Structure 1
Amino acid sequence: MLEELEVRNLGPIHHARFTPASGMTAITGETGAGKSMLLNALGLISGAPTQAARVSPGQDSSWAQGVFELVDSSPILKTIEETGIEPEDGQLFLTRSVPAEGRSKSLINGHTVPRSLLHELSNRLITIHGQADQLRMAAPGKQRDFLDTFAADSAELNDYRDAWQRLQEVDHTLAVLQDQQASIIQQSDYLRQSVERIDQVDPHPGEDVELRDQRDRIEHATQILQGITGALAALDASQLDGEADSPSATELIEQALQSLQGITINSLFEDAIDRLHSIATDLSDVVFNLTQQIDIESDAADLDKINDRIHELDTIKGHWGPTLEDVLKWREQAAYDLEDMDASPQRVKALEEEQQQARQEALLAGRKLSNKRKLAAVALSKAVNAELKSLAMDGSRLDVLVSQRSDQYLNAHGLDDVSFLFTPFPGSPQLPMGSSASGGELSRLMLAMELVAAQSAKQETQVRSRDRMTFIFDEVDAGVGGKTAVELGRRLARLSQDAQVIVVTHLPQVASWADRQFVVAKKVEQGSTQTSVDEVSGASREKEIARMLAGSESTTSLRHARELLESSKNK
């Protein structure tokens, strides 16, 4: 609910503070006094496009701020908290400044924000039914939203949106997988051929190192054999020639041990004896190993065969290495990847089945939503047309049509095309709303719709905690007079029982129903024209109503003004 609107340097308004009632507020004044500037100010804080030309002459910028009261459970509080802005005691401050040159600046509770956020929040708090603003209801999306609100179909709508979202996710996953099929086939062919090539070579860990060692031994066999033979001749010649007479190194060490052990004082040479035992043991092992090497080298290997094998191993290392261990790891991972790729056709089939199931669920939810919309469309048309009769629009009618599209044309909003068709007078063809009525007729049509929507909300069994919406009506009284004007005022007052209503009017029969009345007037001060916005009550309000009735403050017009105000007290 709008608690306060403050304006500075906007057109002829140098400064004004406007505090509307929580119920109905009337704004009156002479034609051309500047009432439209208040609507422009509301447009500014609603994120409307700016016009630097509306900055007061001689001023650097214009400024407008609206203060709104929110309920504790308002979803708007959560929205602004998500942006990092702290609410201030349940109040929302929407501010907009427009420089004479440059870009406008938008603020929420003192924090600079994008104009889009200002627009989003204000649209959830203010609905302006003016000549231009209400044409937004001509958009099919707005009409569908209005019907959904009237139908109270949030449960069906949420079920459909969930089903639609699931269908979109499956569609996307399937499309991506299908697009990847060509590259998957190419990649799987490469992996399969690579695995087959590695399996043909059939390497084992460390094989390349072993083969190189073996090749080195074969290529240097003569040198190795000479070295081993010389070593054995020095250590134990009997290993080369069984008839050799010279003692072996091991035998000499044994002789040294026997000599030391023959000393009666053994403890003096115990360390030397232990070390000689260890040397004898190690030397025996060395002699044995060298003897084995002579046996190995005596079995000549096929050097060409070893080189061919090393070449094969080098080739696969060049493709999938750099080491043979890397090749084996790559082959193992490639086998796992191939298993996944081989399953891709099954995944596509499974997703196609899942897609079909998700589509059927979305269609089922869409049909339930469509049925509820169709029932609500009939009820909405009937209720609005009943209201139009009371607003001097007998013979006019609104027809809300819900046409279900083919199943293949599902979209994010369901299966339906919703259209509001207005017949302004008997015999006129049905025309799209917004292109078939004058500004005054459209304002009254919107009033009838808002009345019906408010009554529908009151009749809901579930008590809903929500912010009090602010409705602005301009030109709603165009072409209206007499009893119809009284009925128009009565219905605006009735709407104000469930919402805040601000109406710009020239009719005393409408203004008299308001809880508060403000007069917009021009004043000439020091050679410049300024516009003031002042609340009138008591005698001053009677004078304003009298002026609106007769253009004067005669005794008769004042008496009629008092009678009109008195008769309008009973809402």
Structure 2
Amino acid sequence: MLEELDIRNLGPIHEATITPAPGMTAITGETGAGKSMLLSALNLISGGPADAGRVTAGADEAWAQGIFAVSDHAASAAVAHEAGVDPEDGELFLSRTVKAAGRSRAVLGGKSVPKSVLASVAGELVTIHGQTEQLKIASAARQREFLDHAAGDDAELETYREAWRALAALEDKLQRLRSQESSARQRADYLRESVEHINEVNPQLGEDDELKAKRDRIENAADIAEGVSRALAALDSSQMEFDASSESAGASDLLLQAAQALRGIHASGDFAELAERLESLNAELQDVVFALSGHLDEDFGDADLDTLNARIHELGELTRRWGPTLEDVIAWRDKAAFEIEDLDASPEKLSELEAERDVLRGKAVEAAAALSAVRVEAGKRLAERVTGELESLAMPGASLEIRVAPRSGDDALDTNGGDDIAFLFTPYEGSPQLAMGKSASGGELSRLMLALELSAADMHAGKSGKTADDASDMTFIFDEVDAGVGGKAAAELGKRLARLARTSQVIVVTHLAQVASWADSQFVVTKIPPDADDDAIGVVTTVDGVTDEARVHEIARMLSGSESEASLDHARELLKESSL
């Protein structure tokens, strides 16, 4: 819902702030006063084209900002989140700056974004029904989206799309297999031969490092034995059986002798503590002796250096080709095995995939038929409702047909189902049925869109179980909806806009008092001529909210062009009737 619209230096509007009502807001004023600038501002914050010619003469830039109230789970909040912006206190700020000489700048929640992002967010917040914007409904895609929204077929559509995605993925895989050229088959052969070679060698993680360490120990066995023996002799001579008669004491013996000498001192001092420390050192020394004695007894068996070197060389060949480590070689082999499976376009594999594809196609066709059935039924109900509304909107004989035609053939399905959807409009009795968007004036199309929005809102509320008072996040903007309408039809038009405003925010630009009288709030756009004493100031347009007697005077002006007592009485009566 639009809470506030701020405008600076846009056309004749130097500065304006509009705070629309949650329900229906009417924008009124004399013809040519500048009401179109409000639509221009909304178009700007919706990511529309930026026209430097709209910048107020003498100003450097024009600026527009919309503040929208959004719920945390709204679609607009999700789109904004993807752009790195989250609502602040339940509000989203959308703004656009247009330089008089230069490029425009789009801002979402204080963060500069591409205008396409602004358009995506605004698309979930604002629907503009104006002479230009309504032409978008002429596209088949927009008509399908509108029908799906009215039908409330989210479940059927998602079920179909899941089936379609599975089918499309398998079709892609089949296409890749069928279109393989000789280079792809050569790669499959290379991968297969490489995997077979690696499997024959059968490398184990860390095997090369272990073998190199073993080779190093074998090659240095004599040095190891001599070094360990000398170390043991120095630490504990009792470990050296060949030198048992030696009278030289090892380090362990000397430590024990030193400890015993300290414990033999009976005078006061820290001699006992020092003796304990020496004994502790001896215990640690014995651990070292034990470890060294194990190396002295180490048996390398019948290990053959030639065999070790041959295996190390064999593993080295693998790491040079698919390394640099054995871990990389093994990972490459495992990945290659999966790639071979994809590249293997054997007849058996293709037959298996084609059978699977046929099963998935059957599921997609079934889901598409279920979706189509919902669309056909919803299209009939929506067209009947719209045709009934048009009669009350000064369009007797006008009708709408929504044609849902299931496609046939191999290419019948796409991501949105298997239907061709067309909105066909007959503007008056006897007129040929024409494609929507090409068969109506701006005013007629605006009223047709109002009838569509009303009917869709009623259908969607009925399917979802919502009441008429459950509001949505969408803001509808109507321009030219009252073109060619007057009298009783104008009152019916206002009543229907007010009805739509029960479930959505509605802003209507109108010149009819019978329409404006139904609004919950009203803003008047006024053009102030230039001051004859100050040539520097050109035409200025103001936008002011009117309430109470001020609104009565504006309604009277719209009724008769004057503010006589009779027209004022008529205005009060009209406002009273419209509030019933």
TM-score range, shorter chain: 0.7 to 0.9
Letter in 1 for 2:6: E
Match of 1:497 in 2: 502
CA distance in 1, matches of 2:131, 2:153: 30
Letter in 1 for 2:385: A
Query: What is the CA distance between 1:187 and its match in structure 2?
Result: 4.6
Match of 2:102 in 1: 102
Deviations 1:125-144 (A, max 9, x none): 11110011111111100000
CA distance in 2, matches of 1:335, 1:157: 39
Q: Does structure 2 retain, via aligned residues, the 8 Å contact 1:71–1:466?
A: no
Query: What is the CA distance between 1:149 and its match in structure 2?
Result: 0.8
Deviations 1:449-481 (A, max 9, x none): 011011112212445987421111100011111
Given the superposition, is the C-alpha separation of residues 547 and 419 from structure 1 closer, same or farther in structure 2, using an over 3 Å criterion? same
Larger deviation, residues 157-166 vs 403-412: 403-412
Deviations 1:118-177 (A, max 9, x none): 000101111110011111111100000110011111111001111111111111122222
Q: Does structure 2 retain, via aligned residues, the 8 Å contact 1:94–1:109?
A: yes
Give SS of 2:87's match.
coil
Given the superposition, is the C-alpha separation of residues 191 and 103 from structure 1 closer, same or farther in structure 2, using an over 3 Å criterion? closer
Match of 2:169 in 1: 169
Match of 1:442 in 2: 445
Letter in 1 for 2:544: D
Deviations 1:382-426 (A, max 9, x none): 110000011111101000000111141211111100000001111
Query: What is the CA distance between 1:536 and its match in structure 2?
Result: 1.0
Match of 1:186 in 2: 186
One of 423, 427, 434 as aligned partner of 2:426: 423
Given the superposition, is the C-alpha separation of residues 321 and 555 from structure 1 closer, same or farther in structure 2, using an over 3 Å criterion? closer
CA distance in 2, matches of 1:497, 1:68: 18
Structure 1 residue 540 corresponds to structure 2 residue 543: no
Q: Does structure 1 retain, via aligned residues, the 8 Å contact 2:192–2:340?
A: no
Structure 1 residue 370 corresponds to structure 2 residue 375: no
Query: What is the CA distance between 1:543 and its match in structure 2?
Result: 1.0
Give SS of 1:408's match.
coil
Query: What is the CA distance between 1:25 and its match in structure 2?
Result: 0.7
Match of 2:20 in 1: 20
Q: Does structure 2 retain, via aligned residues, the 8 Å contact 1:396–1:424?
A: yes
Given the superposition, is the C-alpha separation of residues 131 and 341 from structure 1 closer, same or farther in structure 2, using an over 3 Å criterion? closer
Match of 1:469 in 2: 474
Given the superposition, is the C-alpha separation of residues 339 and 75 from structure 1 closer, same or farther in structure 2, using an over 3 Å criterion? closer
Larger deviation, residues 28-37 vs 517-526: 517-526
Q: Which residues of 2 match residues 280-291 of structure 1 at below 5 A?
A: none
Q: Does structure 1 retain, via aligned residues, the 8 Å contact 2:191–2:340?
A: no
Q: Does structure 1 retain, via aligned residues, the 8 Å contact 2:471–2:502?
A: no
Q: Does structure 1 retain, via aligned residues, the 8 Å contact 2:380–2:402?
A: yes
Larger deviation, residues 425-434 vs 351-360: 351-360
- Larger of the two Rg values belongs to structure: 1
Q: Which residues of 2 match residues 250-399 of structure 1 at below 5 A?
A: 344=344, 345=346, 346-399=348-401
One of 569, 574, 578 as aligned partner of 1:559: 569
Query: What is the CA distance between 1:348 and its match in structure 2?
Result: 2.5
Query: What is the CA distance between 1:360 and its match in structure 2?
Result: 1.2
Given the superposition, is the C-alpha separation of residues 189 and 452 from structure 1 closer, same or farther in structure 2, using an over 3 Å criterion? closer
Query: What is the CA distance between 1:194 and its match in structure 2?
Result: 9.9
CA distance in 1, matches of 2:336, 2:142: 51
Letter in 2 for 1:441: E
Letter in 2 for 1:557: S
Match of 1:289 in 2: none
Unpaired runs of 5+ residues, structure 2, are 199-241, 247-313
CA distance in 2, matches of 1:180, 1:336: 19
Match of 1:457 in 2: 460
TM-score under structure 1 length normalisation: 0.74
Q: Does structure 2 retain, via aligned residues, the 8 Å contact 1:523–1:531?
A: yes
Give SS of 1:360's match.
helix
Q: Does structure 1 retain, via aligned residues, the 8 Å contact 2:512–2:558?
A: yes
Match of 1:72 in 2: 72
Query: What is the CA distance between 1:551 and its match in structure 2?
Result: 0.8
Given the superposition, is the C-alpha separation of residues 320 and 563 from structure 1 closer, same or farther in structure 2, using an over 3 Å criterion? closer
CA distance in 1, matches of 2:374, 2:10: 46
Match of 2:415 in 1: 412
Given the superposition, is the C-alpha separation of residues 189 and 149 from structure 1 closer, same or farther in structure 2, using an over 3 Å criterion? closer
Unpaired runs of 5+ residues, structure 1, are 199-266, 272-315
Q: Which residues of 2 match residues 41-120 of structure 1 at below 5 A?
A: 41-120=41-120
Letter in 2 for 1:520: V
User: How many residue pairs end up in the alignment?
Assistant: 460
Given the superposition, is the C-alpha separation of residues 176 and 383 from structure 1 closer, same or farther in structure 2, using an over 3 Å criterion? same
Give SS of 2:490's match.
helix
CA distance in 2, matches of 1:400, 1:36: 32
CA distance in 2, matches of 1:124, 1:568: 30
Q: Does structure 2 retain, via aligned residues, the 8 Å contact 1:74–1:467?
A: no
Query: What is the CA distance between 1:539 and its match in structure 2?
Result: 1.1
TM-score under structure 2 length normalisation: 0.73
One of 528, 546, 549 as aligned partner of 2:559: 549
Larger deviation, residues 95-104 vs 181-190: 181-190
Letter in 1 for 2:51: Q
Letter in 1 for 2:139: A
Q: Does structure 2 retain, via aligned residues, the 8 Å contact 1:47–1:115?
A: yes
Q: Does structure 2 retain, via aligned residues, the 8 Å contact 1:98–1:104?
A: yes
CA distance in 1, matches of 2:196, 2:69: 75
Given the superposition, is the C-alpha separation of residues 373 and 340 from structure 1 closer, same or farther in structure 2, using an over 3 Å criterion? closer
Structure 1 residue 481 corresponds to structure 2 residue 486: yes
Query: What is the CA distance between 1:443 and its match in structure 2?
Result: 0.4
Q: Percent identity?
A: 52
Given the superposition, is the C-alpha separation of residues 56 and 335 from structure 1 closer, same or farther in structure 2, using an over 3 Å criterion? closer
CA distance in 2, matches of 1:362, 1:379: 26
Structure 1 residue 433 corresponds to structure 2 residue 447: no
Give SS of 2:522's match.
strand
CA distance in 1, matches of 2:441, 2:26: 22
